[in-house]
Amino acid sequence: MSRRLRSFKRWMRSHGIECSDALELAEEAPGRGVFVAALCGLKEGDLVATIPKSACLTTRTSGARPLIEGAALGGCLALAVALMYERSLGPGSPWYGYLRLLPDRECVPLVWSASEVEELLAGTELDKTVKEDKACLYEDWKESIEPLIHTGPLKLDPHYFGLEQYFSAKTLISSRSFEIDSYHGSGMVPLADLFNHKTGAENVHFTNAALPSDSDDESADNISDASSSSRPSMEVNSNSPGGKDEALEMIVVREVDAGAEVFNTYGLVGNAALLHRYGFTELDNPFDIINIDLALVTKWSSYKFSNRRTRSRLSTWRKLNYSGCTSQDSEYFEISYNGEPQLELLVLLYIITLVESTFEKLKMMMDTLESTYDCFSSVVELIKITRSNGCKDLKIINGQKEPEDLKKLLLTESVCCALLALADSRESLYGSNSLEDDLKKLSNCCCISERKLYHSLVLRVSERKILRRLRAYATRSSKKRKL
C-alpha cells in the first residue's frame, strides 16, 4: 500500500468517515488509480460506509466560502474555486489527506491538446463539444476567476488559480463530484468517488442516513453541458441548512463475491458521455448513440433537390410541431444503438421526398394535421393524406401505438435511400480511414500506455458500427417494401 493511500485512510478516520472492514482500497496498475474490492461476500442491504457531510468538500465547507459568496459565484464554477483554494493551502487544508490521493487532473478530452482533439476526435460526437467546452471555460475563468487573483479579499497564489489549474479542477469535478443536497449543492465526496463505473452493474447506492435506500434514481447530464455536475446524486431530503450535519450512507444493492471489485454506476450513458466526463469508454456499450445534425439533412436535401424545396418542406415539418433534439446552438436527430433513426427524422425525410402534387395536397390539409395532439395521431393523419392506400397501410398496425409501427409507415423507398445517403455523409466526417482500419488499430492499441488513442478509437468504432446498422436498417426496410 502506498504512502498516500495509508495517509488517506488515516484522514478518513480523523474526519469521521466509517469504511467497512469488508472493503479493501487497492491501487491498480500505474496510472489507473484506486479501486474498491470486497474482502468477503457482501449481501444486499449491507451498510459498508458512512460519510459525514462535513467531510465533503463543498462551497459551504471550504475556507473559500467568503470569497465565493462575495463574488456571487455558483454551481460548478464555485466548486472549482473551492477545490483550487484547498489545493493551494497544501498541508494546511482540512482535506489535504484526501486531495493527495487525487490525480492532478483526469484524462478527459477537455485537457487534451488541440492537435489531439483534432486528430483523435474528428467526426465523433465530441469533436465540436470539446472545442465549445474549452472556449466557454476560458470565458468563465477570464470573467470570474482571474479578477479574484488581483482584487479578491484573499491573497490567492496565481500558481494555483491559473487557466490550466481551472481546467484541471473542472476535470476532477466532472468525473468525481456528486450532487449532495440543496444546501451543499454539488461537492467532492471522499471515498464515494473511488468506486469505478460499470454499466448496468451497480453494487452500491448512496443515500442520506435519514432515509431508507429505496431509490435507484440516477442522473446523466447532456454531453455538451460543460458546467454541470455529472455524477449521480445522493438520495437526500435536506432542503435547508438544518440538514447540513447529516451523513451519507453507502448501501449494497447487489451482492458482491469475495475478491470482486465493487462498482458504482454513473448512469446509463453512452461512450461519448463516458469519455467526455470521465475519460474512459466501454466496449459494446448498449447505450451508445450517434447524432445526425439537421444541418447535414438540409445540406443533403438542397443538393438532392433545391434550397427552395428544402426550406418549404422544413417549414411544413415545423408547422406540424416537429423538432429535433437541441443542444446549445445545434439541432440534431439521434440514431439508436441498433441503428434505428429518431421518428422526427423519418417524418422530415418523408415530407422532403413527397412528390410535388402530394406535398401541395398536404399543405391544403394542414389544419387537419395541426389539430392532432400526439405523435401517433399526427403520423396516422399524415399517411392518410399523402398515400392513396393509406387506410390499407394503417391496417398493418391495427391501431397499435408502437414507434416501430409508425416508422414502418414512413419508410418509403425514397426515405430509405435518404437514410443511406445521410449515413454516408455522416461517415465522411471521420476522414478517409474505414471502420475496418479503426478496428485494426484498436486491436493493436494498449488501453494503458495509449489511453487517449484507445478510448477515442472505441468511441469512433462504436459510432461507425451504429452507422453500419443504420445502413442495414434502411436496406432491410427497402427490400421489404419491394416484396
Q: Is residue 233 part of a domain?
A: no
Select from 225, 256, 278 the last residue of a domain. Answer: 278
Same domain, 298 and 184: no
Same domain, 429 and 294: yes
Question: Where residue 303 sits, what CATH number does that domain have?
Answer: 3.90.1420
User: Is residue 218's pLDDT more than 50?
Assistant: no
Query: Which residues are CB-neighbours of 373 under 8 A, at least 6 positions away?
Result: none
Of the given ranges (138-147, 239-248, 305-314, 395-404), which has the lowest mean pLDDT? 395-404
Question: Where residue 108 sits, what CATH number does that domain have?
Answer: 3.90.1410.10
Chain center to CA of 44 = 28
Per-residue pLDDT at 482 = 63
Three-state SS for 30-66 is: CCCCEEEEECCCECCCCEEEEEEHHHCECCCCCCCHH
Same domain, 35 and 129: yes
Give pLDDT tens digits for 345-372: 999 999 999 999 999 999 988 877 766 6
- Written as nine digits, the cell of 203 is 453494487
Q: Is residue 283 part of a domain?
A: no
**335: Cα within 13 Å, side-chain hemisphere:** 26
User: 238 or 290: which carries more pLDDT confidence?
Assistant: 290
Same domain, 29 and 88: yes
Neighbours of 295 (CB within 10 A): 11
φ, ψ for residue 333 (rounded to 5)?
-125, 140
Select from 278, 301, 318 the last residue of a domain. Answer: 278
Does the pTM of the predicted model rise above 0.75? yes
Q: Is residue 121 part of a domain?
A: yes
Same domain, 162 and 13: yes
Per-residue pLDDT at 404 = 62
Same domain, 258 and 355: no
Total domain count for the chain? 2
Give pLDDT tens digits for 34-78: 999 999 999 999 999 999 999 999 999 999 999 999 999 999 999
- How many Å apart are CA 439 and CA 454, to the nearest integer? 11
Q: Is residue 220 part of a domain?
A: no
Give pLDDT tens digits for 263-316: 998 888 999 999 999 999 999 999 999 999 999 999 999 999 999 999 999 999
Domain coverage including residue 335 = 290-480
**In terms of C-beta distances under 8 Å and separation of at least 24 residues, what long-range contacts does 71-74 make, across chains too?**
71/144, 71/148, 71/152, 73/144
Of the given ranges (40-49, 217-226, 239-248), which has the lowest mean pLDDT? 217-226
